[in-house]
Chains A and B, each alone.
Chain A
Amino acid sequence: MANMNSAAERPATERPAAERSSPVERQGAQPREFDLSRDALRQLNLFLHKDAVRDGVGQVRVHNPDGAHSIACGLNAELDVQIHGHVGYYVAGMNQHASVTVHGNAGPGAAENMMSGRVHVKGFASTAAGASAHGGLLIIDGDASLRCGISLKGADIVVGGSVGSFSAFMAQAGRMVVCGDAEDALGDSLYEAVIYVRGKVRSLGADARYEPMTDADRAALKGLLTAAGRVEDPADFKRVASAKSLYHWHADADQEY
């Protein structure tokens, strides 16, 4: 019988990496190279899940991803994974602790359900980037498509470009920074997540509203921009948050259901 505690009840940031080795221990290890034109995806992910941790390999470089799906998903150690090329769906899905960099564009669901760590897409990201992510930082230098940050649950997302419609839909917690514009229905049905947007917003979603930027907002935003390596001025951003009118059912709000 399994006798293990559920992880759902601990904040992502407090969850230990059971198998993680310290960066100090791995200093001497040589980066490991994978070429997905030759090596199987299963071989790469199995290495990242088990062998890299066991052998103290700190950095893994992936070449010729050619749009493959699920690259570097399910990582649970302080690995540095550099992917040189475009990736398909779910790169770094459910990431814990690892730093994953995509030197190219990413398909749908990049860093979906990330718990911790850092995922950096140097190019553009397709739909649902950072979907339901609980923790960690997702950086997208280019634009992000529809539903970026959908169901966000505590992670931070910084988008250098613009985001598509229904971004931050039902976002529950966490922060999303949009340095460019936002398409329709930004922040529809938000809970406690906060959006900072610099450019034009085509429309806000149900129950989303603009709120004044406070000093705390500007400080938080400055920290996020710095962490993402960006130089925009926090003074140029607007804050979008929930009006909380959908938190409880009542007859007058039925059109919103």
Chain B
Amino acid sequence: MAERELEESAGFDRHTIDYIQRAAASGLYEIRGLGAKRRVPNFDDLLFLAASMSRYPLEGYRERCSTKTLLGTRFASKPIELAIPITVAGMSFGALSARVKEALGRAATEVGTSTTTGDGGMTSEERAASKTLVYQCLPSRYGFNPDDLRRADAIEIVIGQGAKPGGGGMLLGQKVNPRVARMRTLPEGVDQRSASRHPDWTGPDDLVIKIKELREITDWEKPIYVKVGATRTFNDVKLAVHAGADVVVVDGMQGGTAATQTVFIEHVGIPTLAALRQAVDALDDLNMRGTVQLVISGGIRSGADVAKALAMGADAVAIGQGVLVALGCNSESYVMDGQHVSARADYTALGTAPGFCHHCHTGKCPVGVTTQDAELERRLEPAVGAKRLKNYLKTLNMELTTVARACGKQDVHHLEKEDLVALTVEAAAMAGVPLAGTSWIPGKAP
């Protein structure tokens, strides 16, 4: 029978049947890496209006457009000054190799931005390579210590992650090698399950006190960020501000992870677009825009995404998955001794292919990015990775300033919501900008 005559069920399509049969065979949920694969309203659903009769553009190649970004100006005596508003998101040593962490630090330093530690502590490589390093304080507290706290340039208290708000970290045993185990005080090879709640505080009132403790320990020098996974974002941002955060980081549901249950990745949290608007609304409601800075993350890929995020009210963005892709994630090949070497057979062995791989959790990354295997991690040379990432970040920044100049802005932070329209009703409602060609913002009185 020809396939076109067969009717596939909408409710029980091949994907769903495969899911049910896999569950029936294994009795375990799927765990995987990276972020949501389903399509949700995102920055692609917004457009810039740019200059017109009433808006005066800047010359693209002649007039300056500042990208300088200050973070942590509220209470810290040593705020962070970045050359660009694009930062590297927190990713753990353990999920990533030490060589990758070094590459991230090198690239971030070269373009004048920050990088961030992760669940697993600070490695000497990333501290040495990073001019500006944000040190995460996570529920697990793996490797967390006051010496590294003092060496950090800022502190990020992680409440949640966009890929799995409400869930703790995971690192499967094959990635818990001797060094990772030592840093996390765990037995080698154990399937590590991180805590989902902080051990020594339990709510926003406690967080006020926790933040003050960290300030006391570091003599009020370092900016303190609070990172939340995007869920009840309007309230969470307000609570973070009340708790004393200098910077609030909001991570939307498209954000990545090294390993989490698929049900978490695809079904928990709200899209970055919706979360960003709620976060900005919260800061506006408190009259704290400009006093508390906002960093948005979760599926930021391009300079256009960055520009749209800034126009909606973010002060900076943080990128995780895009950074890994720049390093070579999902590439057909890796570079060794200056030569491109095919990794296709390794993708096949994992049951996947370049462009589709989400097997970070296995530790068998074909291009040496998300691995602790000594042979595989050699596939990412820090200098090569750093150069690729530097190019990526530079490209994003050039795209950002291109759009900003076209909108007539001498500073990318002058981009504003009025510069945006939406392509879909959903995006218009989530972002709070008019549907293109209309003055209609769903949910707002005309």
Interface positions of A (Cβ within 8 A of B): 1-9, 12, 15, 41-42, 45-46, 49, 69-70, 73-74, 76, 88-90, 93-94, 96, 108-109, 112-113, 115, 127-128, 131-132, 134, 147, 150-151, 153-154, 169-170, 172-173, 189, 191-192, 246-252, 254, 257
A120–B67 alpha-carbon span in the complex (Å): 51
B27 at the interface (CB under 8 A from A): yes
B380 to chain A, nearest CB (A): 20
Q: Which of B27, B195, B213 has the most CB of A within 10 A?
A: B213
Complex alpha-carbon distance, A156 and B251, angstroms:
37
CB<8 Å pairs between A and B, sample of 11: A1-B130, A2-B133, A2-B151, A73-B216, A74-B218, A94-B146, A113-B145, A113-B200, A191-B186, A248-B190, A249-B28
Q: Does B326 contact A (CB under 8 A)?
A: no
The answer to whether A89 touches B187, judged by C-beta atoms less than 8 angstroms apart, is no
Q: Determine the chain A residues whose CB is within 8 A of the CB of B216 once the complex forms.
A: 41-42, 45, 70, 73-74
The answer to whether A74 and B146 have CB atoms under 8 Å apart is yes
Q: In the complex the two chains form, is B123's CB within 8 Å of A8's CB? A: yes
Q: Nearest 4 CB-CB pairs, A to B?
A: A74-B217, A251-B27, A7-B147, A8-B121
Q: How far is the CA of A58 from the CA of B395 in the complex (A)?
A: 56
* Listed residue (A8, A131, A134, A248) with the most chain B CB atoms within 10 angstroms of its CB: A8
Task: Say which residue of B130, B183, B195 sits within 8 Å of A170 (CB atoms).
Answer: B195
Among listed B136-144, B242-250, B386-394, B407-415, interface-contacting one: B136-144
Whether the pair B130, A2 counts as a contact (CB closer than 8 A) is yes
**B residues less than 8 Å from A250 (CB atoms):** 28
CA separation between A252 and B199, bound complex, in Å? Answer: 28
A12 pairs with B145, CB closer than 8 A: yes
Alpha-carbon distance between A41 and B186 when the two chains are bound, in angstroms: 36
A88 proximity list for chain B (CB < 8 A): 209
Contact of A128 among B28, B148, B182, B199 (CB under 8 A): B199
Q: List the A side residues contacting B143 at CB < 8 Å.
A: 8-9
Q: How far is the CA of A15 from the CA of B146 in the complex (A)?
A: 11
Question: Contacts A248-B173, A249-B28 given: A6-B123 contact, CB under 8 Å?
Answer: yes
- Counting chain A CB atoms within 10 Å of each CB, the highest count among B141, B143, B190, B218 belongs to B141
A88 to chain B, nearest CB (A): 7
Q: How far is the CA of A173 from the CA of B143 in the complex (A)?
A: 13
A219 to chain B, nearest CB (A): 23
Q: How far is the CA of A93 from the CA of B214 in the complex (A)?
A: 9
Q: Is A172 within 8 A of B199, CB to CB?
A: no
Q: Is the CB of B141 within 8 A of A153?
A: yes
Q: A2-B128, A73-B217 are in contact. Are A96 and B146 (CB under 8 A)?
A: yes
Nearest A-chain residue to B27, judged by Cβ: A251
Q: Are B199 and A150 in contact (CB under 8 A)?
A: yes
Instruction: Contact check, A115 vs B151: say whether CB atoms are below 8 A apart.
Output: no
CB distance from B374 to the nearest CB of A (A): 17
In contact, B145 and A172 (Cβ under 8 angstroms): no
Q: Which residues of B, 102-129, contact A by the 8 Å Cβ criterion?
A: 109, 121-124, 126-128
Given A5-B127, A6-B122, A134:B213 Cβ within 8 A? no
Contact status of A4 and B145, CB under 8 A, knowing A69-B212, A192-B187: no
Contact A2 B131 (CB under 8 A): yes
Say yes or no: A132-B209 contact (C-beta < 8 A), given A5-B124, A93-B217.
no
Report whether A94 and B217 are in contact in the complex, using a CB–CB cutoff of 8 Å: yes
Q: How far apart are the CA atoms of A109 and B216 in the complex, in Å?
A: 15
B219 at the interface (CB under 8 A from A): yes
